[in-house]
């Protein structure tokens, strides 16, 4: 488990996670995202990137999904989850994923860099992790599938959004209520993946 933050004892979602058996308060972020956007449904196959300690995987299983979880760090077993230990920035990790399942209805990533305290560096690394997650998603996400990825906001946010927008019918950034108020994290929500091509922008597309 990640070290507890100094203010966790005053944090509502920290205690709710302990009460409800989730491994991290981040579980509520996915629950809130899913409640608003309907990303995961019963019977879906979900790829959870940067999964450890497993809060998002727990939520996906609770929602009725079959889950493959990936992280560079170990993760205690979760019933209904196949765990792969690997670095999402490495090609061999993609190959390991494909050995387990070649296509997914949903790809989610709550991966974050180790915080250095240098904001611009943390932002750039978070963007690179998000790009790595999307590079995997482009290879395994079914046409019409959904994608959720975390970034830290900064000067590269707009560029990253422009890179992803052509691939999805619906796309926007969203910060769930469970994100800490002082946090600059936000999530790209993409629905209706267009496959391995760049579909023409339609008038009905939402930004």
DSSP sequence for 124-145: HHHHHHHHHHHHHHHHHEEEEE
Q: Please, which pLDDT band fits residue 4 given cuts at 50, 70 and 90?
A: very low
Q: Can you give the residue ranges of every domain in the chain?
A: 38-193
Q: Which of 150, 165, 181, 200 is catalytic?
A: 150
Residue entry with tokens 């707009």 = 158
Q: Please, which pLDDT band fits residue 80 given cuts at 50, 70 and 90?
A: very high
Ramachandran region, residue 90 (left: φ > 0; alpha: ψ -120 to 50; beta: rest): beta
> CA nearest 179: which of 66, 28, 31?
28
pLDDT for res 90: 97
Mean pLDDT value of segment 97-101: 98
159 assigned to active site: no
pLDDT tens per residue across span 146-180:
999 999 999 999 999 999 999 999 999 999 998 87
Q: Is the distance from CB of 165 to CB of 207 less than 8 angstroms?
A: yes
CATH number of 38-193: 3.40.50.150
pLDDT for res 68: 98
pLDDT tens per residue across span 65-77:
999 999 999 999 9
pLDDT for res 201: 44
Strand partners, 206: 170
Q: Is the pLDDT of residue 10 over 70?
A: no
What pTM did the predictor assign?
Answer: 0.88
CA 58 to chain centre: 13
How far apart CA 155 and CA 90 sit, in angstroms, is: 25
> CA nearest 149: which of 61, 136, 192?
136
C-alpha separations of 171 from 79, 167, 186, 193 in Å: 32, 9, 13, 10
Mean of the per-residue pLDDT values for the chain?
Answer: 89
């Amino acid at each position: 488990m990640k070290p507890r933050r100094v203010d966790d004892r005053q944090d509502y979602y920290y205690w709710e996670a302990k009460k409800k058996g989730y491994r991290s308060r981040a579980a509520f972020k996915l629950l809130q995202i899913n409640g608003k956007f309907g990303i995961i449904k019963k019977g879906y196959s979900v790829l959870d990137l940067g999964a450890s300690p497993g809060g998002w995987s727990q939520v996906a299983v609770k929602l009725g999904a079959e889950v493959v979880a990936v992280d560079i760090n170990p993760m205690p077993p979760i019933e209904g989850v196949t765990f792969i230990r690997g670095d999402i920035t490495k090609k061999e990790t993609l190959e390991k994923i494909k050995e387990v399942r070649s296509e997914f209805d949903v790809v989610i990533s709550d991966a974050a860099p180790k915080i250095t305290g240098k904001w611009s560096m943390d932002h750039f690394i978070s963007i690179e992790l998000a790009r790595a997650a999307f590079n995997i998603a482009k290879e395994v996400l079914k046409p019409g599938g959904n994608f959720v990825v975390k970034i830290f906001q900064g000067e590269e946010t707009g560029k990253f959004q422009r890179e992803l927008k052509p691939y999805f019918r619906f796309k926007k950034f969203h910060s769930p209520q469970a994100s800490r108020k002082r946090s600059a994290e936000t999530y790209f929500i993409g629905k209706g993946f267009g496959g391995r091509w760049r579909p023409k922008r339609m008038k009905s597309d939402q930004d």
